[in-house]
Amino acid sequence: MRSISADGDAAVMPNQNSPAISVEKDASVTRDDDPDVALTRQACDDSDGAFIPTRREALASAAALSAGAFVATGATARPSPAGSAAPAESRLAGTTLTIRPTINGHELSVAIDTRSSLLDLLRERLGLTGAKKGCDHGQCGACTVHVDGRRVVSCLTLAAKVDGRKVTTIEGLSDGKTLHPMQQAFIDHDALQCGYCTPGQIMAAVACVREGNATTRGDIRRSMSGNICRCGAYVGIIAAIEDVVAQGGEV
């Protein structure tokens, strides 16, 4: 076993019980006078002159590099300042778009941010808050609406996609003060508890019947599987759909 003496000479230790040379560290010693640094540098003088850093110096260098990378990343993530050299038209191009959908029977013309979802357009711009934002990932069905008669999850549908198309929300399902048969059936069968998911459940249930997927309970469950009721009112929901089908009226 080799050990380095205080004067830099290498010696062979006869056995493991031989005392190793130790250097007492003084907390007041500066970095340049640290015995560990001096010993390592002296031991590396026998090489081709390249300096091998100590563990402490290597960690300090790694920390400095990490800090530099963080600052660089943060700098590029910031928006361009007002005085940026990029022309204004290149910065603003494509941020707004005027669309003309028909929502609940009303033709509208509205300027939107091209990144806006249909759900945000309905809730934040048009005040139609019946469609709910549950998961915002298209997994719970609370935001279900109809576009051209087909159910969609509005949180994953770009508002720009409904330009020139017909959108129906829970607010447009009833005929004035007369409830839609599916709305009345949900009330009759107590197919809700907290009510947060109910607008999406009703819109999906209407689509389920129109699509011909309400012939059996198994078909209803499969068709409604994209709509989650955290209160567990599934028995009432299925009963409400079956009731509407049994009435045989137009849905």
Contacts of 98 (CB under 8 A, 6+ apart): 109, 110, 111, 112
Helix (H, G, I), strand (E, B) or coil at 111: strand
- Token pair listed for 88: 């204004």
Give the tens place of pLDDT for each residue, 103-147.
999 999 999 999 999 999 999 999 999 999 999 999 999 999 999
Q: Could you give the CA distance from residue 164 to residue 13 in angstroms, rounded to a whole number?
A: 89
Q: What is the pLDDT of residue 249?
A: 81
CATH number of the domain located at residue range(s) 174-251 in this protein: 1.10.150.120
Percent pLDDT > 90 in the chain is 60
CATH topology of domain 94-172: Ubiquitin-like (UB roll) (3.10.20)
CATH 1.10.150.120 occupies which residues in the chain? Answer: 174-251
Residues 14-33, mean pLDDT to the nearest whole number: 48
Pinpoint the residues of the chain covered by CATH 3.10.20.30. Answer: 94-172
Q: Where are the beta strands (DSSP E) in 76-211?
A: 96-99, 102-103, 106-107, 110-113, 144-147, 150-153, 166-168
User: Closest by alpha carbon to 201, among 156, 153, 141, 246?
Assistant: 141
d(CA 243, CA 202): 13
User: Alpha-carbon distance 102 to 164, whole Å?
Assistant: 7
